[in-house]
Amino acid sequence: MKKPLLGEFETPSSNKYRVGPLQSIHMPMRRFREYEDVDYVIVGVGSAGGVLLQRLARAGFNVVGLEAGPFWDTEHDWVSDEAGSHELYWTEPRVTGGTDPLALGANNCGKGVGGGSVHWAAFTPRLHPSDFEIYTRDSVGADWPITYDEIRPYYEQLELEMPVSGPAYYPWGHPHGYAYGPHPMGGVGNALIKGCSALNIPVSIGGPVAILSGSHGDRPHCIYRGFCIQGCKVGAKASTLVTHVPDAIRTGAEIRDRSMVSRIELGKDGRVTGVHYFDNEGHSHFQRAKAVIVSGYAIETPRLLLNSACPGHEKGLGNSSGTIGRYLMAQAGNVVLGRFEQPVRMYKAPPAHALTEEFYETNPKNDFARGFAIQTVGPLPVAFGKQVLAAKKAWGWGLRREMMDYNHWAAFGLLGEILPWKDNAVTLSEDKDCFGLPIAHVTFNLHENDKKLIKAAREKTEEVMQAAGATEVVQEARYAHLVGACRMGSDPRTSVVDKFGRSHDIPNLFVCDGSLFPTQGSANPGLTIQALAARTADYLVSQGERIFTSNERDMTTTPIRRELAPPETWGKGVPRLK
Amino acid sequence: MANELSLTPPVLDMKMVANYVREGRFQRSLALLTAATSVISGLEVAYEHYRGSYSRRVMYTPVILSGLLAIAGVAAFFSRRAARTVLRLVSVVTLIDALAGFYFHVRGIHRKPGGWRLPMTNMIMGPPIFAPLLFGTSAYLGLIASYLQREESSGMPSTSGRDIWFARLLPPSAGRELLSAEQDMREGRFQRQVAIVTGISALLSGFEAYYSHYKNNFRYAMQWSPVVIAPVLAGVAFSSIKSRRLATTALPAVSAIAGADAAIGFYYHVRGVLRRPGGRKRLLYNVMYGPPIFAPLLFGAAGMLGVLASLLRRRRV
């Protein structure tokens, strides 16, 4: 057969996963035996798990990542369709309750390699220095066991690895600039700029968002097709599936997909010895490991630890403080919708592309502590339909008429800090899932400060929408992100893990994901989760074999190991403020 | 005397300038012009590559080189020696960089999904294919300038600063031809060469204007003007290789039209930038993502080359 001009199109092959139109992971990957005592088992290969896996593999450890969901071949498994993307979410049974129950699933939990980073909108603001000490400053919430300066090199590093697009000067928090240039605006971004400019509110244009504005090795740049949170088939949006997992596989890590971890095994010496998991066919296995890292995010991490209760740890593994599952936080994520005379076409851009953090910090003039951010949101028609249903109680023909008007609407999201409260918790329910494991029961209540903050944030967002020229403004109350529930701290009586994510009770058990957060700020947590993962990895690498053999706890902070970054990180990026 | 000079009517001034150009005695002015165009194309490439996030280190080279070329141009204005050494060297390096850039842009389009099998899509969505060559325009001006005589020189054109070492590397006949061509440039006898460059530049910038305006669906009728004028200018420029008459009549006329069109385009692009949400308050961002503010001037450069060609003499036969 004659070859087509300039070579053939790539044909699918069984020994590689395509994770983008140009990018693929070549198989076979290394396989460990179950009786082999691997160095680390990582439970959950998501935002944090992906980074940990890559770092530890590159440092030469034997690592296995167990992931409940599938290893995506994005060209084959993903569709650019709202309704067709439900497989990206964690939709196993869960019970939600409390006075303000959270909607769980699509918005805050992922399943599959890459985890939630596969369907996040990829907003990546840093936390502010004040976020690490809100108890000291405002007498609310809790202080972090680390300061901004300790995590800052990891922010800078991960912003290069994703990489993050945004302005060269970002004025809020600790001022800094971004590695990749800002994105052009869609209709919603233009509305936010217009509204903010009219009210003299500074606004950050074109980021910070972990979507490529220029190409990056074998990842093409964004083409503004709008399907960010349905899984970016272009490969422009950063997920650990495209940023860290390829390098992890290359350097000898193993990912066992469709493997649901059911229990962590504790040995007689008070150290964990491995994990039990179910494979795709429901067969039970046990993987031996010298240390275990749980990266299952804010619901599955506490659920696994609670489910692993055993003699000596009756309240749950490593739960002597009784705080596993406690201090769960979501962020207020009300969506404010505005109708414009001119078409907005909010599908024509990434949902995340402009924001203002002008109201982020505690303002003494307010009657509440802490603050909020205003961001662009670009719901696609189905999500929009749900929002007008909630916001305008539209139904039947009325809903249909509203939905036909989709092109004229713009949506802003507020992102308000909700403080950590002990009664907001993940506990075990009576009900069981398909493996016979008790499912999570999530309780969520708003408190006085939270309600006042949400009210003020909503009013300000509506004001901006009106200033942008909207003729009709409505809003829907909802929540975004889930963090906390296995918080870190220096006091073993009030926290689950220490500042490196190591359990206070069990020296070779680690937690590393969003559940570590003592407080959450009004910043999207994705960047901080990955920064914490890289930091934990550096600590583990510096400790070396001592983690596996000794119960001693070395709390010295080590300098960042930039050499562990994926090699394609270097040699790219715009001039910027550090 | 001084009074009399300042009272010379503009027509005489223009004649004087034309005479300088005719005789190849405009090194200082062309060096300054090189510096000016270099600053503009440097700014253009700086923000265009910013849009590409400088995702390869090589993307910094045109930005740095255009800065160096601007400095070399100013140095050449003051020093004849600088004109013949630094300016020539930097110009050559910049021209090589322009060719390298062209290669990288072609490859960039090739690397996009579908590559050259989807040429129109990927040329529109990928790196601007001819932009690096247009970036070479100022380097070309610098290279010419390095061979010219200075305005104040009189009498027989000097022969110093010849590339004798380079001519020696070539076969004897080609070496002689090179030195003779250099001598003709020194005397302002290189009309055909500039006419060819004018034609190429018009074609390339016309094509850039075509697909950039295509991205905007030719929303304004005025967006067709460079697309229409460019082939006419190219046609006239290429015909001027044969016809001396066209070179002195049609070529300056069409070139002037192209120049005027570039000025109008520049106005519209500036207006387009200021009209964007945030306008003046978000100037940097709006320059980056608004209509490319200096791009019409690159089209104007083709017109400028055409005028230059029309003022020059042809080579001795």
Cα A530 to Cα A546: distance, rounded to the nearest angstrom: 24
CB pair distance less than 8 Å for A179 and B53? yes
**Partner residue facing A571 (CB), from B51, B57, B278:** B57
**pLDDT on residue A140:** 92
Write out the two tokens for A389.
């249903």
pLDDT beneath 70: ranges in chain B:
1-8, 154-161, 317
Distance (Å) from the alpha carbon of A528 to chain B's nearest alpha carbon: 23
pTM: 0.88
Show the CA angle centred on residue A388, arms to residues A384 and A390, nearest 5°.
115
Query: CB distance from A194 to chain B under 8 Å?
Result: yes
Residues of A with CB below 8 A from B278's CB? 193-194, 197, 205
pLDDT in tens, A113-127: 999 999 999 999 999
Mutant choice from B53, B110, B273 vs A, greatest count of A C-beta within 10 A: B53
**Partner residue facing A181 (CB), from B53, B56, B57:** B53
Query: CB distance from B78 to chain A under 8 Å?
Result: no
Query: CB distance from B55 to chain A under 8 Å?
Result: yes
**pLDDT on residue A14:** 66
Residues 6+ apart with CB under 8 A from B132: B62, B97, B98, B99, B100, B101, B102, B104, B105
Cα B238 to Cα B229: distance, rounded to the nearest angstrom: 14
**pLDDT on residue A164:** 94
Mutant choice from B48, B50, B54, B55 vs A, greatest count of A C-beta within 10 A: B55
Specify whether the CB–CB gap between A293 and A40 falls below 8 A. Answer: yes
Residues 199-258 of A with CB under 8 A from B: 205-206, 212-216, 220-221, 223
Cα A230 to Cα A226: distance, rounded to the nearest angstrom: 9
What are the domain boundaries of chain A? 30-569
Query: CB distance from A181 to chain B under 8 Å?
Result: yes
Is domain A30-569 in CATH 3.40.50.150, yes or no? Answer: no
**pLDDT on residue B110:** 87
Fill in the DSSP letter of residue A499: T
> Backbone phi, then psi, for A2, in 5-degree steps?
-75, 140
pLDDT beneath 70: ranges in chain A:
1-14
Distance (Å) from the alpha carbon of A402 to chain B's nearest alpha carbon: 27
Query: CB distance from A461 to chain B under 8 Å?
Result: no
**pLDDT on residue B314:** 84
**pLDDT on residue A464:** 96
Residues 6+ apart with CB under 8 A from B257: B229, B233, B303
Q: Which of A345, A344, A347 is nearest to A380 (CA)?
A: A347
Residues 6+ apart with CB under 8 A from B179: B162, B163, B164, B167
Cα A152 to Cα A142: distance, rounded to the nearest angstrom: 20
Size of interface A-B (CB pairs under 8 A): 80
Distance (Å) from the alpha carbon of A266 to chain B's nearest alpha carbon: 48
Q: How many CA atoms lie within 13 A of A33 on its CB side?
A: 2
Cα A221 to Cα A182: distance, rounded to the nearest angstrom: 12
**Partner residue facing B278 (CB), from A163, A193, A220:** A193
CB pair distance less than 8 Å for A574 and B285? no
